[in-house]
Amino acid sequence: MYLFFNKTKERSGNIFLGFFILDFAIESFDVLLSKTSFYTEHPNYYLIIPALSFLIYPSWFFYIKTTAFKDYKLRKVDLLHLIPFIAIVIIFLFSYHLQHDDVKLEIRTNPNHTPWFIGFTYYLLRIQGIVYGIWSIRIVYRFKKIVNENYSNISDKNYKWILQLTIVFVYFILATLVYNIFRFGFKELYEEQNIHHHISSIITLIFLSWIIYKGMSQPYLFNGVDSNIKLLEEYLKENKEKEKKSISKERTNRDSALKERLEEYVITNKIYTNSSITIFELANGLGMSSYELSLFLNKTLNKKFFDYINEYRIKNAMQILQDPDQKQLTVLEILYAVGFNSKSSFNTAFKKYTGKTPTEYRKEYLKSVD
């Protein structure tokens, strides 16, 4: 209820997370009802909840998607994600709910004969989980590439957050897959030892506890990226012929001139000190499109926008660290001054460029000067 009604910027994502937890809770309630005589006394209610299970993975998938892409809105094509749910509802309707009560009772109470559509449901649900797990991984991959190509600063917390979401989701999918293989593949051990209940309970408890904690405490950390941004490879694919024709000696001369103009603009205006600078803003200042600038950076300079801007930030930080008159400045003050907004990302980028941490670099340099 908190996720459904709490009005925040992340509300659309929270609603999907709320549906995920609600679906999960209803499915767990189905297990409890199965342990009682409820379905035997009321066979018409049997198999209603298992059909809702096919909304669990789509709910989680769209939660990850709306978390990664801040402006993502549902489209008509997204209704296709309801196909498995609708298909199972139709199968259950004709194979069970429209049958005579005696047939329903036989299906429910006969332990030696499991109808084909019940086993099919569990297998289809596991396949659905694997598919959505793969799609979720693709979202993370696309998110990371968009950040590198278009943004100069995305907090480590942002990427770790969506990465954690996906890793835990995929882990849960694999865990439930193994559980069901054990359940349907080793029936004797399954029935005698009952160990599957303990395994399933532990996995579910850990998973839901983590999700609920994260859902209520972490979403405000994440701003997401623009879902309408195309990757450079997608832009090139759409403009393949145009790009081929532009490769010439004249293009080489233009690239050389653009490189000088770009460097002059970045250094003169110190745009790298703006922690939220994007490729769109830089391209606008140069009077060109973001895709043209991205193409130039990637193809000519062989650099992502993220790395290109950070290189200027690191060089500026090195100058400050080398200056004895500014040794009173802390590493935290320096990283903010040059355009970083996270100590961990600054340390990672600095060490990648120099092979040393900022503190080590300052000590060694000042020591060599003395």
Domain holding 284: CATH number?
Answer: 1.10.10.60
Q: Is residue 36 part of a domain?
A: yes
Residues 285 and 152 in one domain: no
Contacts of 12 (CB under 8 A, 6+ apart): 66, 72, 73
Residues 47 and 135 in one domain: yes
pLDDT value at position 209? 79
Q: Give the pLDDT band of residue 295 (cuts 50, 70, 90).
A: confident
Residues 150 and 10 in one domain: yes
Provide the whole-model pTM: 0.70
Residues 328 and 182 in one domain: no
Check: CB of residue 176 under 8 Å from CB of residue 334: no
Exposed/middle/buried for residue 172 (C-beta within 10 Å: 0-12, 13-18, 19+): buried
pLDDT value at position 192? 46
Q: Is residue 84 part of a domain?
A: yes
Q: For residue 308, is pLDDT > 60?
A: yes
- Counting the structural domains of the chain, the total is 2
Residues 265 and 195 in one domain: no
Q: Give the pLDDT band of residue 183 (cuts 50, 70, 90).
A: low
Mean of pLDDT values over 136-155: 79
Q: Is residue 226 part of a domain?
A: no
Residues 256 and 205 in one domain: no
Residues 162 and 240 in one domain: no
Q: Distance (Å, rounded) from C-alpha 177 to C-alpha 173?
A: 6
* Final residue in a domain of this structure, among 221, 254, 274: 221
Check: CB of residue 158 under 8 Å from CB of residue 221: yes
Q: Give the pLDDT band of residue 238 (cuts 50, 70, 90).
A: low
Residues 177 and 146 in one domain: yes
Q: Distance (Å, rounded) from C-alpha 231 to C-alpha 210?
A: 32
* Final residue in a domain of this structure, among 170, 192, 221: 221
Residues 207 and 307 in one domain: no
Q: Is residue 201 part of a domain?
A: yes
Nearest 10 degrees: Cα torsion 287, 289, 293, 295: -150
Q: For residue 254, is pLDDT > 60?
A: yes
Q: Give the pLDDT band of residue 80 (cuts 50, 70, 90).
A: very high
Q: Distance (Å, rounded) from C-alpha 71 to C-alpha 63?
A: 13
> For tokens 């590439």, what's the residue?
145
Q: For residue 222, is pLDDT > 70?
A: no
Q: Is residue 227 part of a domain?
A: no
Residues 238 and 174 in one domain: no
Residues 48 and 148 in one domain: yes
Who has greater pLDDT, 316 or 199?
316
Q: Is residue 282 part of a domain?
A: yes
pLDDT value at position 64? 84
Mean of pLDDT values over 343-354: 88
Q: Distance (Å, rounded) from C-alpha 50 to C-alpha 126?
A: 13
Q: Is residue 294 part of a domain?
A: yes
* Final residue in a domain of this structure, among 169, 200, 221: 221
For the ranges 21-25, 98-102, 105-109, 247-251, the lowest mean pLDDT is seen at 247-251
Q: Distance (Å, rounded) from C-alpha 354 to C-alpha 40?
A: 71
Q: Distance (Å, rounded) from C-alpha 163 to C-alpha 58?
A: 18
Mean of pLDDT values over 40-58: 88
Contacts of 126 (CB under 8 A, 6+ apart): 176, 177, 180
Who has greater pLDDT, 84 or 186?
84
Residues 64 and 84 in one domain: yes
Q: Is residue 196 part of a domain?
A: yes
Q: Domain residues for 73?
A: 2-221
